[in-house]
Structure 1
Amino acid sequence: MKSWVCADAGLAIKRVFLDEPDASLARALWAEWQEQKLTVIAPTLWAYEVTSVVRKQVYRRQMAPDAEPATLTTVLRLPVQLMRPPDLHARASELAQRLNRPAAYDAHYLALAEMYECPFWTALIILHTNDIHGRVEGLARIATLVEQTRAENPGVPVLYFDAGDIEEPSRRLSNLTKGTAMHRLLNLAGCDAAVAGNGAWLRYGPQVLGDHGRAARYPLLLANLRMSDGVLPPGVQPTTTLEIASDPEQRAGPWRLGLIGMTADMPEYSAFFDLSAVPAASLVRELAAALRQDGADAVIVLSHMSLKTDRELAAELQNDVVAIIGAHSHDLLPEGERVGRVLIAQAGQYAEHLGRLDLAWDGERLEVVRATMIPVTQATPRSPRVLAEVDVIEAEAARFLDEIIGELAEPLDFALDRECGAANLMADMLRERMGGEIAVVAAGQAFTGPLPAGPLRRGTLWDVCSSTANPAIATLPGAQLSALLAKGLDPAFAAERPHTLRGQERGLLHLSGGTMRDGVLHVDGAPVDPARGYRVAGSDWEFEHYGGYADPDWGLQIEYEVPTIDKVTR
């Protein structure tokens, strides 16, 4: 058994600062070393680093000035043997050069551990979110918590990852910018990497990922989806490698963390965009091996694939990844979930929690010591930097929304329980745009309010029509069309508030190109022919299984104009 253990300054600080969230873990680790009669060693620069950390705490007003001398004395009296063996600096320089580090601070710890043939322990904190879905205020509060966590953990690297669906087409700022605004805000929240979910580009098309990637000052990851020519969508990369330094202000550290981004495979990808998915487990295994070959010491997956899929992946990747930070299924895992050696983490939804992983690196393996959740409450202050950027984006949007795009000769009323002018307008537009004989539109997914007479501005239309539906057309036999209409005109069905509509009632189905007489559909003045095929315009909401109008067994061949997404408001 080795009689030495090399520990960085971060673990020493955690042992002394009793009010730190994981100080007990650091004290337990030190107690274990003592029980094993291990001597804690560090290079002489350890004393300079801990002194600097204490000074920063005072300078940043996180410690009272009169507490500085006693705190520093306590840290410097820790049982740490400072070592300066011959050739330490030369070996540290060699390691820094071999590992392509711009500085050699942490390489001294690596060199010392190598010389004494002992483990090198350092700490790492990972914060994570998922499925924020356009909640701007929640993200502003998360930004505060990220900043606080970094300030409360001097000498310890704190990384923040988002596992996808930061965007949401039904939320104002995200909708107006096709999700790009959320990435601008995520920059200011201190994000280090994110995976592309499905919330935005499933509606706007994969080309919008290029806008997201340009806005993001962090790697936007997506490894498992391919365009028809076999390449990745624009704006994303499959993997990235982060340098982990004991001092967060350094640009490089003694070890590297590899990240892989994966997102859910959905049938709409091939139907809408001619995208295909690569099998997940074999791809992750291949990419993890490549990351390690390129210098990564450990690998974590950012997965927007659901808890069920993450469990399956973890079972197959026991020797390939340390953890899977998940999303898509909106699960809250307060203490994480272990599948063998792999920890699965997921932080719920809508910026209601910030996940935290405390990890330890012993020079050979990265281990998740603890997984916890930090509640995001109304009492959490909102980040001024995030709010200032919101104001900038709102000013940009205001100019766009003030443009006049048309004129209404008379006001259009809106109702969910009867025929209304606003939904009739949408039905007429879809029938003309898609070249249908008939058009069907559910009032609740198309509009949320009336339109006034006179000049029509983008902003006025957007306020009552933020629909994320895609224009579509399908051929339905008269019998199926009649069944779809019967369901859409059922008052009880129309009053439902499905989760997909975020609490809005479905509203009654509206027609263009046909009339209902005594419960029977008439087209061109004649009753519908049950056997004849009719070209029917609508949207994915009226035709796909999740809308609930069409029977999946019909096997409709739906043609989409994708991405359109309420082009009038764009």
Structure 2
Amino acid sequence: MKTLHLKPACLYLLLLLVSFTGTADAELQHFTILHTSDEHSSLLPIPLVDYLPGEADLATGGFARIATLVKKIRTEKDNTPVLVFSSGDFIGGTPFSWLILNNLSPELSIMQDLGYNATTIGNHEFDYGSNGLADYLNRLKSQGKLLPVVVSNLREPEDHAITQTGIKKSLIYELKNGLIVGIFALLGHGAYRVSPDAKPLQFTDQHQTARQQIAQLKRDGANVIIALTHAGIAEDRELAGSVAGIHLILGGHDHLQFSEPEVANNTLIMHSGYYTQNLGQLDLAWDTTTQKLKLINSQTGAPMLHKIDSSISEDPQTAAIIENYRRQLNDFVASCTAGEFSDISQIVAISEFSLPRDQPFCESTVGNFVTDAMRIESEKLLGEKVDFAIQANGVIRGGLIAGRAQHNTGKINLFDLASVSAMGNGSDNLPGYPLVSLYLNGVEIYRLLELASILPQLWGDIYFLQFSGLRYTYDPGRTFWIRQIPWLNLPWPAYRSVISAERLVKRGETADNDVYETLARDNSRHYHLVTTRYLATYLPMVGTRLPKLKLVIKNKQGNEISLDNAIIRKNGRELKVWEATARFMSSFARNTEDLPVIPERYRVLEGRIRLVQGAWLWFWPLITSSTLLVILAVSATRALRNRKKKAAPRQPDNID
């Protein structure tokens, strides 16, 4: 046997290599981030009609399933710190949010039990007003059930109840491996814009606030800095591109689900879905030498986005808590409807098809159904004709899905129906946005249609309007002269997108039998319009920014009125959108089981909103201006020649 003899220099290099390798391993500090956003009171899987507790089903989401997965990941990562965050909009969307009106705070209570480390707020946290949010948080605080809520750019009046909630500007976590993680959070500009009931609370500039928070967190010793944002992907990208020092943005607001994070300016951006449909998982390593954050899911084998379905069993403890909230919701619904409904699982209709809302910026069958319900049921209650109804995509919370399994084929229950339009409340403090009745003249209707083209192109699909009683054709390419004026960062509307508009004068048995007439573009006649109190809030605001689109809320006599006086009531009770849809559905012809059957007309689109692409908006202005330039040039040339002729010296006559 030979003995290996190493020279001293070789031995030193070998020891140095071993030492360096060991040091490199020690310089990676591992941790895991779990993330949800836009939970929207989705305590149970949806659609609820497909949900079969303890069995394989087609319903997805639910906090009890998330609880199981979070516990499983924490067990598997026993030696790796795990942090769980939400990016806000934890309330609003399903009838479970109505329990807030019954002095309960189910969403954050459950999330606190699940071990969430922090959340921030979104625009729907203001569905019941800024004082409603303060009551929600203070209620949990008094019960010792409030998880940390972080909002860095909140600016609140000193006497507002929100000051008592303990909302934090930032958080610092020192993990067991020695890594220090700093958290700050932002509500975005676009999210605040759709939060009229957030007042008097205000929110400061995101980028300026981020820079201040990053500097402070670094002074406090943070190695890794994470931003929880409720702003949407466009604003998240702007934030990452403009503000250095953010390692990870966990975003929400526009209901995106990334299979893996985006990278912008060395910042990871992750959006993990909505309605508890997914759980994001980022396995991360902080390199103390390079001071960089590494995504290592490819090494750990963990998916970056888990789908939450019936393959994940429900955590019994969480399921029991949710079942208790379900019983309380049944009691609350029964009290709100005078016993008309007493079980959110009650089957209220049957349909051979679903009514989806899966395509942005276009007419939808569920939008047609909701706006028809608003118009027709308001007409019944008021006893007078309603010409039009409008509703925005942002408050049509999803499609109306009929049962898809053998045991429930075609069935629709109350919970799924109400979830389409469950948001908000009225001055009566009962669930749902109330409907308002108002009048606009023909010119204003065309202004409204121009507005329906402008706002979605500027601010997204949530501003796209669905209509009943009206159909129109528009060309989005004719909406703006210039989409964004350089240096001013403002659009230049052309007010020329609407090609034609028609009013429904007779509703047929099918859409093919509907009768329309051309809508006059004049101010001599007023048309009766129904919408929600929430959406109507924005109509008068438009004229302050775009005077050519000024809209005045009027009564039947043409006199300007307040929105509170426009609310539709009967015997002092406000008519809510979700109630209008339930009443409308109950009016349909019934099958042998005495269940209303959704008419065939809602199987397909009716062509109420037709998009065309016509001539380039600048075509005729350019032709006209080019022609004028040619004429001017020719005229100038002739004038110059004539001037030269007049200025030339006259030659003397020849004398023989």
Instruction: Please say whether Structure 1 and Structure 2 have the same fold, judged by a TM-score greater than 0.5.
Output: yes
> Corresponding residue for 1:123?
30
Aligned equivalent of 1:67: none
Corresponding residue of 2:209: 283
Aligned partner of 1:237: which letter? K
Distance 1:305 1:220, change over 3 A: same
1:325 partnered with 2:250: yes
**Are positions 1:144 and 2:68 aligned together?**
yes
In the TM superposition, what is the alpha-carbon distance from 1:308 to its structure 2 partner? 1.4
Q: Tell me how many residue pairs correspond in the alignment.
A: 409
The C-alpha deviation readout for 1:162-195, integer Å capped at 9, x for no partner, is: 11222233x1212333693222222233211111
Instruction: Provide Cα deviations, 1:287-306, integer angstroms capped at 9, x if missing partner.
Output: 12122323433321011111
Q: Write the deviation string for residues 99-145 of structure 1: whole angstroms up to 9, x where unpaired.
A: xxxxxxxxxxxxxx9xxx99654321111112233332313222211
Aligned-partner Cα distance in 1 for 2:551–2:443: 10
Select the residue among 100, 103, 111 that pairs with 1:177: 100
Determine the C-alpha separation between the residues in 1 that align with 2:315 and 2:136: 22
| Corresponding letter in the other structure for 2:70 | V
Q: Aligned partner of 2:186: which letter?
A: M
Quick one: structure 1 residues 439 and 540, their matched pair in 2 at CA, closer, same or farther if it must change by over 3 Å?
farther
Q: Does 1:209 align with 2:190?
A: no
SS in 1 for 2:123: coil
Measured in 2, the distance between the counterparts of 1:308 and 1:419 equals 33
Instruction: Give 1:305's aligned residue.
Output: 231
Q: 5 Å matches for 1:129-528?
A: 129-136=36-43, 137=45, 138=61, 139-169=63-93, 171-177=94-100, 180-201=105-126, 203-214=127-138, 215=140, 217-227=146-156, 233=162, 235=165, 236-246=167-177, 254-265=178-189, 266-269=192-195, 273-318=199-244, 320-363=245-288, 365=291, 367-370=293-296, 372-403=304-335, 422-424=377-379, 466=422, 468=424, 470-471=433-434, 477-480=440-443
Kept in 1: contact 2:436–2:563 (CA 8 A): yes
Residues 551-570 of structure 1 mapped to structure 2, 5 A cutoff:
554-556=549-551
Distance 1:207 1:350 in 2: 25
SS in 1 for 2:268: strand
Post-superposition Cα deviations, 1:435-471, rounded to whole Å, max 9, x if no partner, equal xx9997569989x9xxxxxxxxx99x97998464645
Question: Is the alpha carbon distance of 1:464 and 1:535 closer, same or farther for their aligned partners in structure 2, counting shifts above 3 Å?
Answer: closer
Q: Secondary structure at the match of 2:256?
A: coil
Describe the superposition over 1:245-300 as per-residue Cα deviations: whole angstroms up to 9, x where unpaired: 24xxxxxxx34311111122233446872443311111111012122323433321
Q: CA deviation at 1:539?
A: 2.1
**Residues 408-454 of structure 1 deviation map (CA, whole Å, 9 limit, x = unaligned):** 9xxxx9997689874346668xx9xxxxx9997569989x9xxxxxx
Aligned 8 A contact 1:196 1:220 in 2: yes
Supply the distance in 2 between the matched residues of 1:368 and 1:340 (Cα, whole angstroms).
14
C-alpha root-mean-square deviation of aligned residues, in Å? 5.3
> C-alpha distance in 2, partners of 1:419/1:349?
27
Q: How far did 1:237 drift?
A: 2.5
Q: Which has the higher contact order (CA 8 A, sep 6+)?
A: 2
Taking the aligned partners of 1:373 and 1:464, their CA distance within structure 2 comes to: 26
Which residue number in structure 2 is paired with residue 88 of structure 1?
none
Gaps of 5+ in 1: 1-32, 42-112, 247-253, 432-436, 449-457, 488-497, 510-514, 522-526
Q: Which of the pair has more CA radius of gyration?
A: 2
Q: Distance between the aligned counterparts of 1:35 and 1:423, measured in 2?
A: 82
1:399 Cα deviation from its structure 2 partner: 3.5
Question: Conserved in 1, the CA contact under 8 Å of 2:390 and 2:466?
Answer: no
Q: Report what 1:37 is aligned to.
A: 18
Task: List per-residue Cα deviations over 1:197-243 (Å, max 9, x = no partner).
Answer: 12241x22122322443435321122224346698955432222223
Would you say the 8 A contact 1:123–1:156 is kept in 2? yes
Alpha-carbon distance in structure 1 between the residues aligned to 2:181 and 2:122: 21
Partner in structure 2 of residue 65 of structure 1: none
Letter in 2 for 1:359: L
Distance of 2:373 and 2:331 partners within structure 1: 35
Counterpart Cα distance in 2 of 1:391 and 1:276? 37
SS of the residue 1:193 aligns to: coil
Shift of 1:519: 8.3
Counterpart contact for 1:476–1:535, Cα < 8 Å:
yes
In 1, Cα distance between equivalents of 2:15 and 2:100: 56
Give the share of equivalent positions with the same residue, in percent.
Answer: 21
AA paired with 2:219? Q
Measure the CA separation in 2 of the matches of 1:338 and 1:274.
36
